[in-house]
Structure 1
Amino acid sequence: METLFWSCLAGGILFAVVSVVLGDLVSHALDGLLDFLSVDFLKPMVIASAVTVFGGAGILLTHYTSWSNAAVVLISAVLAIVIAALVFFFYVKPMNNSENSTAYSIRELSGRIGEVTIPIPESGFGEVMIKLGAGNTVHIASSLERCVLAAGTRIVVVDVHDGVLRVTKLDEKRGDVV
């Protein structure tokens, strides 16, 4: 029985080390192969913590108590389930809920104010920079009214057509479009 406990402890520790070092590589290599097993509480961290606690508790209970093997296995399993539940509810679930995305859709840029970085000719394309979140993003743009917009001109995005921002000059005095 002690061999089982040592194997679980070593396997859990090995899984933790491998997942830290090679986690992304294995994830990309499998490319969603095991997604059908995806149950909310069967996360690798939860399973690894349960296996590791089962092995560690089994070793400790075998060495420091005179309980029977059945009692040691039962108590180790209960401890593993309790610790796995704690890991899930106090670490995994809050971390999943806190994930934020910095992604945006180009369609969300309508109405945003920006600045021309590469001049926009009457019937051609230039480039505009728009502040988005904590950073800036640059996009190809064309003039909605087909007028020249020089570099440094403040603009507002009116529309997006085929990935190109359609912009117009912003009236600095009134704060709206010309």
Structure 2
Amino acid sequence: MEALYWGCLIGGVLFAIVTVVLGDILSSALDGLLDFLSVDFFNPVVIAGGITVFGGTGIMLMKYTNLAAGAHVTLSILSAIVISILVYFGYVKPMENSENSTGFSIKELAGRIGVVTVPLPEEGFGEVMVKIGAGNTMHIASSFDRQILPAGVRVVVIDVVDGVLRVSELEERKGDD
């Protein structure tokens, strides 16, 4: 029984090391191969964690308690299940929900502050830089008020029409310097 516990412990640790070092390569190589395991709980992190905990708990129970072999196995399995559930709900599930996207809809730009990079004529188009997330995006723009807006002027996006930002000069309030 001790050999099984050691095998599970060592196998789990090796799996963790291999997935950390070669995770992206393995993910690409096995793409779609394990799709039949589509149940969320059958996540490799959860399974490997459970197997590792089973092995480690079994070794510790054998070494430090006087329980029977059946009790070691039962407590090891229960420990593995409890830890797997904690790993799933404490790590895997929150990480799935925390994916960030750099994508945005141009309609979301209404109300955002930007800076004119290419001057806007009374009639026609120029360019405005708007900060989105951690980066800046450049967009074709026209003057909402039909005023000339030189480069460097701060503007607010009033509306988006046919992919063109309609902007107006941002009026700073006194004391906001």
TM-score of the two chains, using structure 1 as the length reference: 0.74
Write the distance in 2 (CA, Å) between the matches of 1:171 and 1:148. 13
| Bigger mean CA deviation after superposition, 7-16 or 26-35 | 26-35
Match of 1:168 in 2: 167
Q: What's the RMSD between the two structures over aligned residues?
A: 3.0
Task: Write the deviation string for residues 57-100 of structure 1: whole angstroms up to 9, x where unpaired.
Answer: 22233344454443332221112112222223333344445x15
Say whether residues 1:20 and 2:30 are aligned partners. Answer: no
Gapped runs of 5+ residues in structure 2?
none
Q: Is the 8 A contact 1:115 1:155 kept in 2?
A: yes
Confirm or deny: 8 A CA contact 2:143 2:149 kept in the other structure.
Answer: no
Tell me if the contact between 1:129 and 1:136 (Cα under 8 Å) persists in the aligned partners: no
Q: Could you say which residue in structure 2 is the equivalent of 1:113?
A: 113
Note closer, same or farther for the CA distance 1:172–1:102 as it changes in structure 2 (3 Å cut).
same
Shift of 1:5: 1.6
**1:92/1:114 CA distance change after superposition, 3 Å:** same
Secondary structure of the corresponding residue to residue 37 of structure 1: coil
Letter paired with 1:73 = V
Aligned to 2:139: 140
Cα distance change on mapping 1:81 and 1:171 into 2, 3 Å: closer
Instruction: Provide the TM-score with structure 2 as the length reference.
Output: 0.75
Which residue number in structure 2 is paired with residue 159 of structure 1?
160
Q: Distance in 2 between matches of 1:13 and 1:7?
A: 10
Deviations 1:82-136 (A, max 9, x none): 2222223333344445x15253222211232311112345545x43112334x45
Contact (CA 8 Å) 1:120, 1:141: kept in 2 or not?
A: no
Letter in 1 for 2:166: V
Quick one: percent identity of the two aligned structures?
54
Q: Is the 8 A contact 1:110 1:160 kept in 2?
A: no
